[in-house]
Amino acid sequence: MSKVIFIVDDEKAISKLLKYWVKDKWDYETEVFDSGETLLKRLDSKKPDLLLLDIMLPGISGLEVLKKIRTKDEQLPVIMLSAQGNVETAVDSLRYGAYDYFPKPIDVQRLEPAVKNAIKNYELTKELENLKESVQKEYSFDNIISADKKMQEVFKLVSKVLDNDITVLINGESGTGKELIAKAIHYNGKRKDKPFIVVNCASIPRELLESELFGHEKGSFTGAHQRKLGKFELANEGTIFLDEVGELEMLLQAKLLRVIQEREFERVGGTELIKTNVRILSATNIDLREAVKTKHFREDLYYRLNSFPIYIPPLRQRKSDILVLVEYFLKKCNQKLKKDIKGFTKRAIKYIYEYEWPGNIREMENTIERCIIIVENDMIDVEDLPVHMRTNEEASYVEQEGGLFEGDNIIPFEKLKEDSIRHALEVTQGNIVEAAKKLKLGRATIYRLMEKYKIENRSND
Ligand SMILES: Nc1ncnc2c1ncn2[C@@H]1O[C@H](COP(=O)(O)OP(=O)(O)OP(=O)(O)O)[C@@H](O)[C@H]1O
Ligand SMILES: [Mg+2]
């Protein structure tokens, strides 16, 4: 569904131009209003996704309109436009909750990313609010947080294998939650009161894996001082979870196949046939079919393990989980670390949302924990994120009259005034007259603001 932008400007030429960009060029739906009154009336029946609002209007002023909107709606992004183009109006706009401010003539090159960012942020905020409510109610697998449609499909599949013993192969990238799903299958199924045994086939040395899985008899090899029960015996009547099953060597693949088919095996160095009643779940983050093709994995075993495949998509393909997981881990890590970090700034959320998360949910959990440890106030900002997550951070600052813009990002507006002055003084090497000219401010105002923000002018030293 296409997004809707309302444009409010009494100057026909400007609203026409804005409409041309917004509708014809950027492909948003638009409605144009020539006064604050007509806009406010329309807002009773329809809510846009963004508002472009002129400050100088014939009846009630843009700032008044903004104030009125904010009494009912704190989130709707409003971008203010003004012909006066000075820092004072910009700051006033911000104080009343504008998302951004643009002096006229409007620089459309800069307006476009501002509009896009604002709409995206707004969408995220709304999504987060909706999800927060639904998450708690709907999904009942303990500790598995998700609101994404693709994960709903996964849960549906999980619910189908709870009450039977079908062999399930869980496939997914590292950190996507394969073990969590395996646990959910066991602890919500009919074997839940019996053991759940995990064997990580990649982390146990090959020589030991056979004995680990099937046990050994006393004296069966050097160091085997006594009989040892293997995981298959320990898991009897319960579930065994073979993690990274693709790492099994051929000999063990054959032995595993026999367990699946005959439900029996012998301990290493033993002759006694051991009967077993276990449910087998396995997981892999490699493409087992490919391993079959290259003859690293037995085809017959593959089909046995894969009777019921469940694929967990990576986090980057389930974007709508990102925010709920962020909330969840924020709470979880706050509790764990006995902290009370309130959340992430909108800018930080944008980075989190756009990041690829190659290590998936595990990476996110670790990242949030790290942020909570290092952050110095109660909101986590972009600077607190790991460096590799903010490669755009060093984006060049672009100077513009009345303000600063950083790549596609808008500098938090509370800081605009101070930053503008600091920046102007920097580029003019402390020349107040030049800085005042750049900012379209009087010298006295600059001095006053420098005092207010405790800005020292190096050239005066
Ligand atoms: N949907 C989720 N909700 C809450 N926590 C999750 C979710 N998915 C994964 N986690 C957490 O992320 C971490 C990684 O999950 P898990 O160990 O199940 O992943 P995995 O796919 O087995 O990873 P690997 O391939 O690296 O073994 C765990 O701490 C797990 O609790
Ligand atoms: Mg795992």
Residue 458, pLDDT above cutoff 80: no
Residue 279, pLDDT above cutoff 60: yes
Ligand 1 pocket check: which of 142, 151, 180, 311 to mutate, most ligand atoms within 8 Å of Cβ?
180
Residue 30, pLDDT above cutoff 80: yes
Atom of ligand 1 nearest to the CA of 151: 1
Residue 402, pLDDT above cutoff 60: no
Nearest CA to 436 out of 420, 460, 451 is that of: 420
Measured in Å, residue 181 CA sits from the centre of ligand 2 at 10
Residue 145 CA: distances (Å) to CA of 160, 280, 342, 357: 19, 25, 20, 17
Measured in Å, residue 389 CA sits from the centre of ligand 2 at 24
Full-model pTM: 0.61
Task: Give percent of the chain above pLDDT 70.
Answer: 89
What lies within 8 Å, CB to CB, of 129 at 6+ separation is none
Residue 315, pLDDT above cutoff 50: yes
Measured in Å, residue 177 CA sits from the centre of ligand 1 at 3
Residue 139, pLDDT above cutoff 50: no
For domain 4-127, say whether CATH 3.40.50.2300 is its number.
Answer: yes
Measured in Å, residue 253 CA sits from the centre of ligand 2 at 20
For range 164-168, the mean pLDDT: 96
The pLDDT value given to residue 219: 84
Could you tell me the residue ranges of all domains in the chain?
Answer: 4-127, 149-312, 412-460
Rounded distance, CA 191 to CA 437, Å? 77
For range 434-453, the mean pLDDT: 74
Rounded distance, CA 384 to CA 334, Å? 16
Name the residue with tokens 């006594």: 226
What single-letter DSSP state applies at residue 84? S
Q: Which residues line ligand 1 (CB under 6 A)?
A: 143-146, 172, 174-180, 285, 361-362, 365
The pLDDT value given to residue 411: 43
For range 203-211, the mean pLDDT: 89
Residue 40, pLDDT above cutoff 80: yes
Residue 179 CA: which ligand is closest?
1
The yes-or-no answer to whether 4-127 and 149-312 have a common fold is yes
- Among 213-217, 256-260, 272-276, 443-447, where is mean pLDDT lowest? 443-447
Ligand 1 pocket check: which of 179, 196, 284, 332 to mutate, most ligand atoms within 8 Å of Cβ?
179
For range 198-209, the mean pLDDT: 90
The pLDDT value given to residue 111: 93
Residue 420, pLDDT above cutoff 80: no
Rounded distance, CA 99 to CA 77, Å? 5
Task: Give 130's pLDDT tier (boundaries 50, 70, 90).
Answer: low
**What single string gives the DSSP state of each residue in 210-274?**
HHHHHEE-TTSSTT--S-EE-HHHHTTTSEEEEETGGG--HHHHHHHHHHHHHSEE--BT--PPE
- Among 122-136, 153-167, 236-250, 271-285, where is mean pLDDT lowest? 122-136
For range 382-391, the mean pLDDT: 86
- Among 126-135, 288-297, 400-409, 424-433, where is mean pLDDT lowest? 400-409
The pLDDT value given to residue 396: 31
pLDDT digits (tens, 9 = 90+) for 255-275: 999 999 999 999 999 999 999
> Which of 393 and 458 is assigned the larger pLDDT?
458
Residue 65, pLDDT above cutoff 50: yes
pLDDT digits (tens, 9 = 90+) for 323-345: 889 989 999 999 989 999 999 99
Nearest CA to 207 out of 225, 226, 227, 221 is that of: 221
Residue 406, pLDDT above cutoff 50: no
In whole numbers, what is the pLDDT of the chain averaged over residues?
A: 86
For range 223-251, the mean pLDDT: 92
- Among 17-21, 66-70, 349-353, 428-432, where is mean pLDDT lowest? 428-432
> Which of 435 and 114 is assigned the larger pLDDT?
114
The fold adopted by the segment(s) 149-312 is Rossmann fold (3.40.50)
Measured in Å, residue 325 CA sits from the centre of ligand 2 at 18
